[in-house]
Amino acid sequence: MKRCSPVVAVASMLILISPVALAQIATEGGESKDPDFVELLRTAKDATRKGDWARAEKIFRRAIELRPKDEESQFLLGTALIQTGQFREALERLEQLEKEFPDKPEVKNNLAWILIKSTDPSIRNPKRGLRYAREAVLAQPSDLNMLGTLAEAHYQLGNHDKAVRIARIVFAGAKMRGASNFAEYGNLLRRCLRAAGVTEDESGLD
């Protein structure tokens, strides 16, 4: 028996962009020796761990005033903008960062998320988002965040069978690793199953 796909809440999967993923894009040259910059970055990262994205955004902006070309703080500001729903500025900043550092899968993943989840028709582009999501997963195939983004992209495009296959992998991986956002991955798999018309016991997805 087929079930209707539920409406997707814009904020429901933002947790996929986790502090673990954020840390992976650290500037290759190491932290700046400028103590003011280092302290700002430390304080902003602490705010992200506490979920205070609005405060983190303000501090990342101050850090960028000191070091406008710093890759890590630019990426983290873009992520904070996503978390606070400022998709347009986040898209612009991350697109520029992707041009400068095309080998960073974290940037591609977050670009994909904006294009997939934005409700602004001038921004939303799931097909382009799918391309970025695929590129991110090809670079880091074991990253659950990036696999989750890829599953979400297929879900949004109506590729429900593909979405289910990937969401199952993500859910199993999260369960095995004891991921803190295990419940969110369960929600992702549940949505994909329902959209694909698959009826099964969902009691183990919480």
The yes-or-no verdict on residue 206 having pLDDT over 80 is: no
pLDDT at 182: 87
201: amino acid identity, one letter = D
pLDDT at 204: 57
User: What are 73's two structure tokens?
Assistant: 């703080």
Domain 105-205 in the same topology as domain 35-102? yes
- What is the rounded CA–CA span in Å between residue 15 and residue 18? 6
- What count of residues does the chain have? 206
The yes-or-no verdict on residue 30 having pLDDT over 70 is: no
Region 35-102: CATH code? 1.25.40.10
Contact 107, 75 (CB under 8 A): yes
Domain boundaries, the chain: 35-102, 105-205
> What is the per-residue pLDDT across 128-165, written as a single tens digit (0 to 9) for each?
999 999 999 999 999 999 999 999 999 999 999 999 99
Residue 179's pLDDT band, with cuts at 50, 70 and 90, is confident
Percent of the chain scoring above 90 in pLDDT: 76
Residue 110's pLDDT band, with cuts at 50, 70 and 90, is very high
The yes-or-no verdict on residue 59 having pLDDT over 50 is: yes
Contact 109, 133 (CB under 8 A): yes
- What is the rounded CA–CA span in Å between residue 111 and residue 107? 6
pLDDT at 2: 36
Neighbours of 122 (CB within 10 A): 7
Picking from 63, 136, 144, the residue whose alpha carbon sits closest to that of residue 101 is 136
User: What are 203's two structure tokens?
Assistant: 């009691």
Identify the CATH homologous superfamily for domain 105-205: Tetratricopeptide repeat domain (1.25.40.10)
> What is the per-residue pLDDT across 69-94, written as a single tens digit (0 to 9) for each?
999 999 999 999 999 999 999 999 99
> What is the per-residue pLDDT across 112-121, written as a single tens digit (0 to 9) for each?
999 999 999 9
SS (H, E, C) 170-191: HHHHHHHHCCCCHHHHHHHHHH
